[in-house]
Amino acid sequence: QAMGSSLGVSDTMALISTKLSNIVPFSCCALFLYAEESEMLRCRFATGVESETVQQLTIKSGHGLTGWVARNRRPLVNARPSADFEAAGVPAQTTLQSALVCPLVFNERFIGTIAVYHTAAAVYTDDHRRLLDRISEQAAAVIYNSIVFEQTQEDSLTDPLTALPNTRFMFMHLTRELARANRLKSEVSLLVMDLDNFKEINDTY
C-alpha cells in the first residue's frame, strides 16, 4: 500500500516478492499478466529457482494452473507446477513440486495471477492461500498502476500510427549519444531519410 505508482512492473514485483518471502514460503515467485485480445497469460516477472525458464512461459486461459485460475478467478492450492510448463509447451524437467496461484483482480477486471512455487511437495496450506489471496487484493492495484505507468511511458515515446519511436524519443536518444561522444571524445553521425508520399499515408490513416 505504501508503494508509489511510478515504478515499472518488474521493479514493483521485485519489491512485492521481497515482502512476500517473509509471509509465504516459495522457491520461485512469478507474475503472469493477462492479454484480453489473445486470452493469453505471459510471465512478466519471475525470481528464484528456475526463474529463467518460468519467465519464458506463455499460457492460454483455461490451460495449466495459471490458465485455470484465470478462467475461474479462484486460487489453486498445492497443484503440480509442471502443469504450467506443459501448458506453455516447455518440456522442462522441473524441480518445483508444489504451487499456489492467486488471481489479480482490479475494479472487477482480471489482470493476471501471482504464482508461488516450491521445491518441496505439498507445502501450501489454506492459511497460505488466505494470506496470498489477501496480498493479491492489495497487490492488484499496485501492479495495475505499474502497467498503466509503463503504457503511458511507452505511448509518450511511440508514434501511434507506425509504433516506431517518435520525435521525443529521438531527442532523448540523441542527447544521450552526444553526451557519450563528448565524454569519449568520439564522433556522431546522423542519417536523415525522407519517405516519398508519406503525407498520403498520414492523411488516410
Express each pLDDT in 65-124 by its tens digit.
Answer: 999 999 999 999 988 999 999 999 987 689 999 999 999 999 989 999 999 999 999 999
pLDDT of residue 41: 96
Q: Is the pLDDT of residue 8 over 90?
A: no
Backbone torsion region of residue 197, taken as left when φ is above 0, otherwise alpha when ψ lies between -120 and 50, otherwise beta: left
pLDDT of residue 150: 79
Q: Is the pLDDT of residue 7 over 90?
A: no
pLDDT of residue 6: 53
Concatenating the DSSP letter of every residue in 44-57 gives EEEEETTHHHHTT-
End-to-end Cα separation, the chain, in angstroms: 42
pTM of the prediction?
0.74
CB 32 within 8 A of CB 112: yes
* Mean pLDDT, residues 44-52 taken together: 93
- Are β-strands 58-60 and 40-48 bridged in parallel, bridged antiparallel, or unpaired? antiparallel
**Percentage above 90 pLDDT, the chain:** 59
pLDDT of residue 14: 84
Q: Taken in order 102, 106, 127, 15, is the CA torsion positive or negative?
A: positive
**CA distance readout (Å), 35 to 41, 60, 78, 123, 165:** 6, 10, 26, 30, 23
**Residues with Cβ within 8 Å of residue 120, at least 6 apart in sequence:** 97, 98
Roughly what angle, to the nearest 10 degrees, separates helices 126-156 and 9-20?
A: 160
